[in-house]
Amino acid sequence: MVEPWNFPYYQIMRVFAPNFMVGNPMLLKHASNCPMAAEAFEKIVIAAGVPEGAFANLYITYDQVNQIIADKRVQGVALTGSERAGQLVAAEAGKNMKQSSLELGGSDPFIVLDDANLSEIKKIISGARLFNAGQVCTSSKRFIVTEKNYEQMLAMLKEAFAAVKLGDPMLSTTTLAPLSSSKAKQNLAQQVRAAVENGATLAFGSLAQNKPAALFEPVILTNITKENPAFYQEFFGPVGQIYRVPDEAAAIRLANDSHYGLSGVVFGGSPEHATEVASQLETGSVFVNSFGGTLPELPFGGVKNSGYGRELGRFGIETFVNKETIVTKHNPINLDDAFGGFV
């Protein structure tokens, strides 16, 4: 398993636990910027008494991942990471005829229908985009709002973004921590600048991003057209995009007009109708009138460039399990019977 830094313990557990239950030993290549988390997890697993060899942390480079995949003792590879990393791992797995599962990025839609309860949305709108400094693949990144509620939703989003307090993540007063690195900040700032240069409106925030180190002030972008490169990009940080659409049919079309398909949110006054809308979205999961993450009993994964395969739930447990068919005959073979008497 090749795992990311943004949830350094949980990401390991969600792959290790189901595979341990079915008897698959696991090798871990963790993100290079959280080696102590990988070491701590290995110590916890050993302390818990799992059999020797059930889990092993490997301090290897990304270049060495291909060598591990190619090893005949390795039967499959699970990756959570960037789209680019997924392409490289999937290619190597395919070349070596190995099973693989990929959980990659997302540009998840947050659809607000005409009859949505805005007071309910207000409770979760900040967390839906800014949780973990917006560095979550399933964050709501594209707010798609019908004409009736657009101005109020834009005002709510601005209010939520203005209320955060940037600072040291170790301080209890901080509500928006830094990004994972200064490089991540530079890349995100460049994405925002490019979006504005190509016609997007900076509705909230600053292009300057003068806060120290990796602190990134929240940004809201509007008027993003399909010709703008930002339209199909994932913004991995506290950047919200809001789109105005005339009706729910247009909202569904816009939500599905994406290279990604990981998760999504639909808010509507009628849960039943909102669920019908959710069923038309091209994603791995949708939350109706709520915003959530993952639960152990529910399968998780995406479609399109968000990857393939599933983690968690029954499907996750079976991802790296051979579904072997065994047919046993207890009576003598009668060649007059169809299929040699097996039926």
Instruction: Indicate which CATH number applies to the domain containing 241.
Output: 3.40.309.10
The per-residue pLDDT for 341 is 58
Looking at the fold, whether 236 and 120 belong to one and the same domain comes out as yes
Q: How many domains does the chain have?
A: 2
Whether residue 23 is contained in a domain is answered as: yes
Q: Which pLDDT band, with edges at 50, 70 and 90, does 150 fall under?
A: very high
Tokens 């967390």 -> residue: 127
Average pLDDT over residues 86-106: 97
Query: Which CB contacts under 8 angstroms, 24+ apart, belong to 155-160?
Result: 156/118, 156/121, 156/122, 156/125, 157/125, 157/129, 157/204, 157/220, 157/240, 157/242, 158/203, 158/204, 158/220, 160/122, 160/125, 160/126, 160/129, 160/130
The per-residue pLDDT for 55 is 97
Q: Provide the whole-model pTM.
A: 0.94
Average pLDDT over residues 131-139: 96
Strand, helix or coil for residue 201: strand
Q: Which pLDDT band, with edges at 50, 70 and 90, does 333 fall under?
A: confident
Q: Which pLDDT band, with edges at 50, 70 and 90, does 106 fall under?
A: very high
Whether residue 135 is contained in a domain is answered as: yes
Strand, helix or coil for residue 236: coil
pLDDT in tens, 177-197: 999 999 999 999 999 999 999
pLDDT in tens, 71-90: 999 999 999 999 999 999 99
Looking at the fold, whether 49 and 160 belong to one and the same domain comes out as no
Looking at the fold, whether 166 and 239 belong to one and the same domain comes out as yes
133/161 Cα distance (integer angstroms): 11
Full 3-state SS string of 64-88: HHHHHHHCCCCCEEEEECCHHHHHH
- Return the CA Rg of the chain: 23
Looking at the fold, whether 112 and 99 belong to one and the same domain comes out as no
Average pLDDT score over the chain: 95
Q: Which pLDDT band, with edges at 50, 70 and 90, does 54 fall under?
A: very high
Looking at the fold, whether 94 and 123 belong to one and the same domain comes out as no
pLDDT tops 70 at residue 339: no
The per-residue pLDDT for 332 is 85
54/44 Cα distance (integer angstroms): 13
Q: Which pLDDT band, with edges at 50, 70 and 90, does 295 fall under?
A: confident
Whether residue 339 is contained in a domain is answered as: no
Whether residue 284 is contained in a domain is answered as: yes
Catalytic residues: 103, 137
**CATH number where 30 lies:** 3.40.605.10
- Domain that includes residue 72, residue range: 10-103+312-317
Element (H, E) at 90: helix 83-95
Looking at the fold, whether 274 and 125 belong to one and the same domain comes out as yes
Looking at the fold, whether 116 and 99 belong to one and the same domain comes out as no
Looking at the fold, whether 161 and 196 belong to one and the same domain comes out as yes
pLDDT tops 90 at residue 334: no
107/258 Cα distance (integer angstroms): 8
Element (H, E) at 243: strand 239-245
